[in-house]
Amino acid sequence: MSNAPGRTGVLLVNSGTPASPSVRDVRRFLAAFLSDPRVVELPRAAWLPILHGFVLRTRPAASAKKYLRIWTPEGSPLLVISQALRAALIEKLNARGDAPLIELGMLYSAPSVAEGLATLRASGADRILVLPLFPQYSGASTGAAFDAVAKALTPLRVVPELRFVTSYHARRDFIAAWCGSIESVWQAQGRTSHTLFSFHGIPQRAIDRGDPYAVQCHQTASELAGALRLRPDEWSISFQSRVGVARWLQPYTFELVGQLPGKGIGDLTIACPGFAVDCLETLEEIGIENRERFMSAGGKRFLYAPALNAGSAHAELLAQIIRLQTQGWHGAGSGPPAIA
């Protein structure tokens, strides 16, 4: 570790992405992702033979085709946008003269959480704020970020002082930023008669065991609907990306999208306020698959409201969270705390 004076560091954590849309790289990514006990809460002796004997033999080829549909010349949207968000956040904080060190760590790909932490420590950070880019808490995402940080720090003789952000799903600036994303789409393309807030699903058994994720998703959706002045019949909530046959949070996005035209809803806006940056689940699953589902069921107009991505409102939101969380931390950050 550097002998530089102690500094504050921030580790932004996201889920990760394949290194390329090749079947080999998608398989490697899925193996890491689906091997995490936080993601698949089944006994290892029962799950791992299924994972390696069936899932990783069949799913990577299908997933690779989906990644090909959204891959950019710069690489994976999730990684490219996450890196741009880090740069925008650094610029935002530097403008105020209170910028901590900021690194990015991925749970299941490079740059890893361990690499991000090592870079922060090598740069002199002995106080580290971990900021998972998961607005709503879930053991499968935020909990996995905590595990990865703990695992990376376990071998150290001297561990840095840590603070950890568990969620920011109902902050006023978070809601305002998402309203801005949705309203900008409406300003450009016209308002729709119905808005669907789609969140990544998790198994119902996780909720039954006490995971607060569903409650927080509903809080986010309700706050957004109120801020957008939507009547109860003008918005819905659903959950996407279901895997396997177990019961997950309902209603399922793909099923609901196919039902809406039959209920007289011909124009639809979908927003995914559980995703900090656009990725496979938003660009391909929502923007392509669910668009096709809606239109083939009789829909007339389908709008997707982008994630907050590397926009100024997102960088400002994260800057406020960082300032609040590092307030008074051995001189890190100055000024009054942010109002959530």
Q: Extract the tokens encoding 153.
A: 């720090």
Closest CA to 189 of 311, 306, 289: 306
pTM, full prediction: 0.94
Q: Cα-Cα-Cα-Cα dihedral of 132, 134, 139, 143, to 10°? A: 0
Residues found in the chain: 340
Query: What pLDDT sits at residue 5?
Result: 54
- Given strand 301-305, what is the order of strands in its sheet? 235-240, 194-200, 267-271, 301-305
- Given strand 125-132, what is the order of strands in its sheet? 101-106, 7-14, 125-132, 161-164
Burial class (CB in 10 A: 0-12, 13-18, 19+), 195: buried
Span 263-301, pLDDT tens digits: 999 999 999 999 999 999 999 999 999 999 999 999 999
Q: Can you name the CATH fold of 7-16+76-167+312-325?
A: Rossmann fold (3.40.50)
264: left (phi over 0), alpha (psi -120 to 50) or beta: left
- Collapse the DSSP code of 240 into the 3-class scheme (helix H, G, I; strand E, B; otherwise coil) and give the result: strand
Query: What pLDDT sits at residue 1?
Result: 40
Asked if 8 and 100 touch (Cβ cutoff 8 Å), the reply is yes
Sign of CA dihedral 37, 130, 203, 61: negative
Cβ neighbours of 183 (radius 10 Å): 14
Establish how many alpha carbons lie within 13 A of residue 284's alpha carbon, considering only the half-sphere containing its beta carbon.
18
Q: Extract the tokens encoding 159.
A: 């561990």
Q: What is the CATH number of domain 172-305?
A: 3.40.50.1400
**Site of tokens 């106080």:** 127
Which residue numbers in the chain have pLDDT < 50? 1-4, 332-340
Span 12-34, pLDDT tens digits: 999 999 999 999 999 999 999 99
> Phi/psi at 193 (nearest 5 deg)?
-80, -15
Query: What pLDDT sits at residue 330?
Result: 67
> Phi/psi at 251 (nearest 5 deg)?
-75, 155
111: preceding bond cis by omega (within 30 degrees): yes
Closest CA to 101 of 79, 77, 128, 74: 128
